Structure 1
Amino acid sequence: MRKSLLVFAAVVLVASLSVCAQNTGNIRYKWYDGQGLMHFSDSLTAEAMKYGYDLVNDHGMVVRHVPRQLNAEERAAANKLAAEQAAKQRAAQEIANAEAQMLTAYPDEESYRISQQQALDNIDQQIHTTQINLRSQEKALTGLLGRAADIENAKEPVPKFVIDGIATQRNVVNDQRNTLKRLQALRAQTVELQARQLARYRELKAAQDKAAQDNPTE
């Protein structure tokens, strides 16, 4: 029995080698030059590598195609394109993950709108605090200016520390005003962004609800 199995295995191996030899045969190289003319050779040439080539067996069948070699500039461009495509894919996946998390965190529109309002409330609180600080700093600046005016009315020179204090206080007031403008601009941008986000949430929720209807759980 063991001898029969060995004989059978030998026959299968020989048959496999025979088929492989018939499929591949003697490999030659085929390529097309810059004018589109076909070339064959028994060895790999620089021109074949330049234009790309096919590995062809003795039956004329193409075993494998090898694309042409890229120069340094082409390789750099190909690598850049691949990196850009990979970055786009990562960005798309990150957006998909964020949207999936959003649907999980906010199962209904009311909860999502509440979260948006909380974000606005936070900005409004910052605006309110900045407005209070601004009024306080403006009042301090007004006081310093009044003091300087009183000194000038008394025909006396305004002390340097008062002049410096006024300059410093002006900077503080300007910083507070700029902060208030940035916060007000941020609030306007947030309102616009939230409107787009809410529209997207509704699209995703509708698609989710439809999928649940089409594939009800048993």
Structure 2
Amino acid sequence: MRKSLLVFAVVMLVASLSAHAQNTGNIRYKWYDGQGLMHFSDSLTADAMKYGYDLVNDRGLVVQHVPRQLNAQERAAANKLATEEAAKQRAAQEIVNAETQMLEAYPDEESYKISQQQTLDTIDQQIHTTQINLRSQEKALTDLLGRAAEMENAKQPVPKYLADSIAQQRGVVTEQRNTLHRQQALRAQTVQLQAKQLVRYRELKAAQAQSQQ
């Protein structure tokens, strides 16, 4: 009985060593050149690294594939692609984080709408302040123009300081008008954005409610 066990152990050891030699021993290199012709080599060559190669054992089985080396332009393109993909993943994760925080901050739709209205109220206050300033600056410009008109009607030359003041005041009025237009455009854009955000909020709340069922 002991002799049988010893013979069995020897056979298993030989089989194991044979399998290991088949898997790792007598490795050769196989690759295809630019014309698609297959090549074999016992050592790693520059062409194999250029085109990419397979590690082949003595049974003809591929045990590993090594892709070809990239040139500088290809490496730059690959790095750019990897960077863009990483940026997309970060942006997607930021959206997920922002939406999670939104649901935590506003447990119901009413509180979310109140927050949106507060944003509009802030913009409206800025618009109101700009309108007041604009009316004040327009009045100042009107007064300067009136003084210049009186001098012209009296056949008197308009002094340089007055002409310069008018030009400067016109610039102030123009800037105030541009500011008002930007603020009004921002409000319109905010209203549109908030409508989309409210739709998304409702979708997230519905999904949240369904997951809790």
CA distance in 2, matches of 1:64, 1:189: 56
Superposition pairs of residues 109-148 of structure 1, within 5 angstroms: 109-148=109-148
**Superposed CA offset, 1:68-91 (max 9, x none):** 111111111111111111111111
User: What is the CA-CA distance between 1:50 and the residue it aligns to?
Assistant: 1.6
1:30 match: secondary structure: strand
CA distance in 1, matches of 2:189, 2:161: 42
1:29 match: secondary structure: strand
Q: Which amino acid aligns with 2:207?
A: A
User: What is the CA-CA distance between 1:188 and the residue it aligns to?
Assistant: 0.5
1:43 match: secondary structure: coil
CA distance in 2, matches of 1:48, 1:17: 31
1:60 match: secondary structure: coil
Superposition pairs of residues 6-17 of structure 1, within 5 angstroms: none
CA distance in 1, matches of 2:148, 2:14: 109
Identity of aligned residues (%): 80
2:212 match: secondary structure: helix
CA distance in 2, matches of 1:124, 1:143: 29
Q: Which amino acid aligns with 1:126?
A: Q
CA distance in 2, matches of 1:184, 1:16: 83
1:93 match: secondary structure: helix
Q: How many residues align?
A: 201
Cα RMSD of the aligned pairs, angstroms, is 1.8
2:36 match: secondary structure: coil
Unaligned stretches of 5+ in structure 1?
1-10, 214-218
**Superposed CA offset, 1:172-196 (max 9, x none):** 1101000000000000100111111
Distance 1:121 1:16, change over 3 A: farther
Structure 2 match to 1:90: 90
CA distance in 1, matches of 2:20, 2:192: 67
Structure 2 match to 1:187: 187
CA distance in 1, matches of 2:20, 2:191: 69
Structure 2 match to 1:4: none
TM (norm. structure 1) is 0.87
TM (norm. structure 2) is 0.89
Unaligned stretches of 5+ in structure 2?
1-9
